[in-house]
C-alpha cells in the first residue's frame, strides 16, 4: 500500500518535535497534537485519547510513534482546553459522547479530516481506554475511508444495540488485561464471536495479571511486561497494515 508523509502547510515545526494543531468540528474549537516521523515515514497513526482528554500521555505516545518512523496525530474529542481532572468530570465528558455516539463519530472524523487536509490518505486508528472504545465506534460506523487498521488498548469492547461490524472492516488489534475487572473476559469473547461472524480480521492478546489501564506510565496499574508486549505487537500490526 502507498506510504504517505504527513505535511502540515502553514505551520512551523521543529524537526521531530511534537506540536499542537488547532482545528474545528461544527464550530467547536479542538486542539490535537502532531509529531512528524523520524526518517522516511512508514505510514500515519491517528491516536484517540482516554477519558482524561488529550494530555501528556497521548503526547508521549505520539512522540514514540514518531521515533518508530510514523507520522502521528492525536485527536481531541473534548474541545480545546477541556481536560477534566476529577473522576466525576471525566465520567461526565465520556458520558456525553456515549449518549450521543453520532457526535462521537463526527468528532473522530473531524480529526481524520484534519489529518487529510495535512496530506494523509491512509492511516491506522488507535486508542486507549475510552479512546479504544471510540476507535471501535469508528470501525463499526463504516464511514472511515482510508483506514488500514484499528487498535484498542484496554478499551471498552461492548457493541451497542443496533450496531455491528461491516464485513469490509479493516483488521483490528485488541490488547486486553486479563485482570481487568471493568472490562471482563466475557466482553473479549463476545467481540471475537462478532468479528468472526462479520469475517473481520482481528488479533486479540490478553496479558495475565494486567489490570485496566495497564499501559499508563507511573500509575499503580502500570504493568511493564504487558505494556512492552502490547506495544511491540502494535508495531508489528502497523508494519503489516501499511
**111-155: pLDDT as tens digits:** 999 988 887 778 999 999 999 999 999 999 988 888 999 999 999
pLDDT of residue 138: 97
Tell whether 10 is covered by a domain: no
Q: What are the strands, taking DSSP E only, across 13-130?
A: 19-25, 28-35, 43-48, 70-75, 123-128
**95-115: pLDDT as tens digits:** 999 999 999 999 999 999 998
Tell whether 9 is covered by a domain: no
Tell whether 7 is covered by a domain: no
Tell whether 1 is covered by a domain: no
Nearest by Cα to 130 from 71, 54, 60: 54
pLDDT of residue 120: 79
Distance, CA of 136 to CA of 158 (rounded, Å): 9
Q: How many structural domains compose the chain?
A: 1
| Low pLDDT (below 70) residues in the chain | 1-16
pLDDT of residue 211: 98
What is the span of the domain harbouring residue 228? Answer: 19-240
Phi, psi of 113 (to 5 degrees): -60, -40
Distance, CA of 170 to CA of 145 (rounded, Å): 10
Tell whether 14 is covered by a domain: no
Distance, CA of 238 to CA of 64 (rounded, Å): 13
pLDDT of residue 16: 53
pLDDT of residue 199: 97
pTM exceeding the 0.75 threshold for the entire prediction: yes
Residues 36 and 66 sit within 8 Å (Cβ to Cβ): yes
Distance, CA of 67 to CA of 43 (rounded, Å): 12
**How many other β-carbons are positioned within 10 Å of the β-carbon of residue 123?**
27
Distance, CA of 165 to CA of 147 (rounded, Å): 14
Residue 19's alpha-carbon distances to 36, 45, 48, 73, 220, in angstroms, are 9, 15, 16, 10, 29
Q: Which residues, in sequence order, are bridge partners of residue 124?
A: 45, 149
Tell whether 8 is covered by a domain: no
* CATH number of the domain within which 70 lies: 3.40.50.1820
Nearest by Cα to 65 from 31, 117, 16: 16
**How many other β-carbons are positioned within 10 Å of the β-carbon of residue 180?**
21
Tell whether 121 is covered by a domain: yes
pLDDT of residue 121: 78
Amino acid at each position: 500500500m502507498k506510504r504517505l508523509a504527513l505535511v502540515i502547510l502553514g505551520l512551523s515545526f521543529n524537526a521531530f518535535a511534537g506540536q499542537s494543531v488547532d482545528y474545528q468540528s461544527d464550530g467547536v474549537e479542538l486542539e490535537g497534537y502532531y509529531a512528524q516521523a523520524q526518517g522516511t515515514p512508514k505510514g500515519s497513526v491517528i491516536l484517540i485519547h482516554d477519558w482524561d482528554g488529550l494530555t501528556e500521555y497521548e503526547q508521549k505516545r505520539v512522540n514514540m510513534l514518531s521515533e518508530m518512523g510514523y507520522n502521528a496525530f492525536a485527536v481531541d474529542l473534548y474541545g480545546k482546553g477541556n481536560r477534566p481532572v476529577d473522576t466525576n468530570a471525566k465520567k461526565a465528558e465520556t458520558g456525553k459522547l456515549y449518549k450521543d455516539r453520532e457526535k462521537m463519530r463526527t468528532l473522530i472524523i473531524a480529526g481524520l479530516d484534519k489529518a487529510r487536509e495535512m496530506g494523509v490518505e491512509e492511516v491506522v486508528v488507535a486508542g486507549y481506554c475510552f479512546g479504544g472504545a471510540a476507535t471501535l465506534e469508528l470501525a463499526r460506523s463504516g464511514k472511515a475511508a482510508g483506514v488500514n487498521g484499528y487498535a484498542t488498548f484496554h478499551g471498552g469492547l461492548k457493541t451497542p444495540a443496533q450496531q455491528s461490524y461491516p464485513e469490509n472492516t479493516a483488521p483490528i488489534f485488541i490488547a486486553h488485561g486479563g485482570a481487568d475487572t471493568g472490562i471482563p473476559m466475557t466482553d473479549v469473547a463476545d467481540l471475537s464471536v462478532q468479528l468472526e461472524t462479520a469475517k473481520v480480521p482481528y488479533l486479540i492478546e490478553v496479558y495475565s495479571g494486567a489490570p485496566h489501564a495497564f499501559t499508563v506510565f507511573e500509575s499503580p496499574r502500570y504493568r511493564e511486561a504487558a505494556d512492552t508486549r502490547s506495544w511491540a505487537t502494535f508495531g508489528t500490526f502497523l508494519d503489516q497494515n501499511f
